């Protein structure tokens, strides 16, 4: 029973049939609401307007749930491959202060000429660029390749290819590449206050896993968690100058 709605109707001196007429819905629909069924958002808002109360006064459980959803979330893509190429390019091209990348290989970006040109241009404009890739000789990288069912050697090869493609970018000022040996739960792609987080799922390739677009802002919010994680990985990673081969690189 929705006593909140029942009391609000009484205070407004309206019957269920009156509310149904105002909203152009079947009176049985209003009765279902009174019995506890939660209306669609458009009906909740309309009811609140008619009764001159806040939606939260009529359905506090729904309004409370809505408030728990972070305002930092800008978009959610079902798969990384569903993120348009233009979004990636614009994401980095709009950076004015810093670009951070944390992945195992991030080869899909390194192979994107538009993205690489955008990052190089931003770096020459004074934007700080930090790239964190997996150490191709680490057991963590090997395990990830096995988890994705592509083989440990394939994952290591992807990283080496990405490192080769990133070499021209390293000639730009303010660009630093490091290798990490961590169990990576998410890949992160940051451009100033915007972060694209690619969730990793066991047995699923990163390209098939979801991507969440976050905007930083809240001191202890969702984005802050990922930024803290990035800094911890960065502080423990090994610098990778272009003239130094990756650890255990057989070439």
Residue among 218, 219, 230 at smallest CA distance from 191: 230
| Alpha carbon distance 224, 79 (integer Å) | 23
Top-tier CATH class for 3-68: mainly alpha
Read off the pLDDT of each residue in 206-235 and give the average, rounded to a whole number. 91
The mean predicted confidence, pLDDT, of the chain is: 88
pLDDT > 70: percent of the chain: 92
Give, as one character, the DSSP assignment of residue 38. Answer: P
Query: Does the pLDDT of residue 251 top 50, yes or no?
Result: no
Read off the pLDDT of each residue in 36-61 and give the average, rounded to a whole number. 87
220: Cβ contacts below 8 Å, ≥ 6 apart: none
- Give the model confidence (pLDDT) of 154-182 as tens digits: 999 999 999 999 988 888 888 999 999 99
Query: Does the pLDDT of residue 2 top 70, yes or no?
Result: yes
Cβ–Cβ under 8 Å, residues 133 and 179: yes
Which segments of 137-185 are extended strands (E)? 175-180
The domain ranges of the chain are: 3-68, 73-239
Q: Which residues of 160-186 are buried (b: 16+ CB within 10 A; e: fewer)?
A: bebbebbeebbebeebebbbbbbebeb
Which residues are bridge partners to 97 per DSSP?
Answer: none
pLDDT number for residue 41: 85
Task: Please indicate whether the domains covering 3-68 and 73-239 agree at the CATH topology level.
Answer: no
Second CATH level (architecture) for the domain 73-239:
2-Layer Sandwich (3.30)
Which segments of the chain are extended strands (E)? 73-77, 98-102, 128-134, 175-180, 186-191, 194-199, 211-215, 238-239
This model's pTM is above 0.75: no
Query: Does the pLDDT of residue 148 top 90, yes or no?
Result: no
| Alpha carbon distance 231, 229 (integer Å) | 5
Token pair, residue 120, equals 């190089």
Token pair, residue 62, equals 């729904």
pLDDT-based confidence at 17, cuts 50/70/90?
very high
Give, as one character, the DSSP assignment of residue 193. Answer: T
């Amino acid at each position: 029973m929705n006593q909140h709605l029942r009391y609000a109707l009484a205070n407004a001196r309206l019957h269920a049939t009156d509310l149904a007429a105002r909203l152009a819905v079947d009176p049985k629909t209003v009765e279902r609401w009174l019995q506890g069924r939660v209306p669609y958002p458009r009906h909740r808002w309309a009811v609140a307007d008619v009764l001159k109360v806040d939606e939260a006064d009529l359905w506090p459980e729904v309004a409370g749930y809505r408030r728990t959803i972070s305002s930092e979330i800008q978009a959610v893509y079902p798969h990384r491959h569903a993120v348009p190429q233009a979004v990636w390019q614009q994401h980095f091209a709009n950076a004015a202060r810093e670009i951070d990348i944390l992945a195992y290989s991030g080869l899909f970006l390194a192979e994107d000429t538009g993205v690489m040109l955008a990052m190089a241009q931003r770096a020459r404009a004074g934007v700080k660029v930090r790239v964190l890739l997996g150490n191709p000789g680490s057991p963590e990288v090997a395990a990830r390749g096995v988890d994705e069912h592509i083989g440990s050697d394939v994952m290591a090869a992807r990283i080496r290819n990405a490192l080769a493609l990133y070499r021209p970018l390293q000639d730009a000022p303010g660009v630093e590449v490091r290798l990490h040996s961590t169990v990576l739960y998410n890949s992160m792609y940051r451009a100033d206050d915007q972060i694209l987080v690619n969730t990793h799922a066991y047995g699923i390739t990163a390209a098939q896993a979801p991507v969440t677009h976050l905007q930083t802002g809240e001191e202890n919010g969702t984005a802050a968690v990922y930024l803290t994680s990035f800094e911890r990985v960065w502080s423990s990673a090994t610098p990778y100058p272009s003239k130094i081969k990756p650890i255990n690189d057989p070439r």
